[in-house]
Structure 1
Amino acid sequence: MSTRRARIADTGIVSLAAMRIGIGALAWARPDLAARLFGLQSPDGQARYLWRLFGVRDVLVGLGTVSGKGTRRHVWACVGLACDVADGAAGALSRNDVPRAGAAAMVGVPAAAVAFGAWALNRP
């Protein structure tokens, strides 16, 4: 693979991590806004707690990816990919419990991250 393609893949991994950090920080700081962006109702106290659990995980995985180099970045990106697969599966399992727009976001957002992350991780 060309150096240019490898740079594009690495830039994509970093960009995906940056989005993960942004979404995670929003989910931790403003779970009500994060829920609305995902097409869900304003969360109650228990749901705000769960949004913050998701948020801190995404921030830390994103920071690990951005700050890592070489093999370490690859490992953190693989952790992020595994989280995205699990998030998509959780969304699919919960799709009948939320409004249609929320279900689409809960499945579609992680599916897009999985597709792009898998492509980028398969580049040397």
Structure 2
Amino acid sequence: MATAGIVSLAAMRIGIGAMAWAKPDLTARLFGFSEPDGQARYAWRLFGVRDVVVGLGTVTSRGDRRRSWAAVGLACDVADGAAGTLGRADVKPISAAAMIGVPAAAVGFGAWALTRGGR
């Protein structure tokens, strides 16, 4: 079950990351943000490619390497949640909820899967 959780989280990471890279305007709207300018599109794509790479590293590896990739993803999710917390006053409440809630859910689920021995 834990292994399936790690792989599922990685697959979601790949999907969201690919969408952020390919369609930053759509991704911004899904997170409750206004239409991004060129700088924001660039930032969405940076986030997107990072998530695709971490997700692919996770799903294409096995055993301890998969756990290492999952731990990297967990660290990214913690950092994303911290960034959301720091920036929450600068955005609409719905966006702040997404900026904090999405990574918090990923941290909770990822930590659960890693502590249950997902490989």
Assess same fold via TM > 0.5. Answer: yes
Distance 2:112 2:72 in 1: 15
Calculate the aligned-residue CA RMSD, in Å: 0.4
Distance 2:116 2:5 in 1: 11
Counterpart residue number, 1:106: 99
TM normalised by structure 2 equals 0.97
Distance 2:103 2:31 in 1: 12
Instruction: Kindly indicate whether residue 62 of structure 2 is the aligned counterpart of residue 69 of structure 1.
Output: yes
Which 4+ stretches in 1 moved above 6 angstroms?
none
State the 1:96 CA deviation. 0.7
**Percent identity among equivalent residues?**
75
Distance 1:92 1:36 in 2: 19
TM normalised by structure 1 equals 0.93
Higher Cα Rg: structure 1 or 2?
A: 1
SS class of match (1:108): helix
State the 1:58 CA deviation. 0.2
Consecutive unaligned residues in structure 1, runs of 5 or more: 1-7
Higher relative contact order (CA 8 A, sep 6+): 2
Aligned residues, how many?
Answer: 117
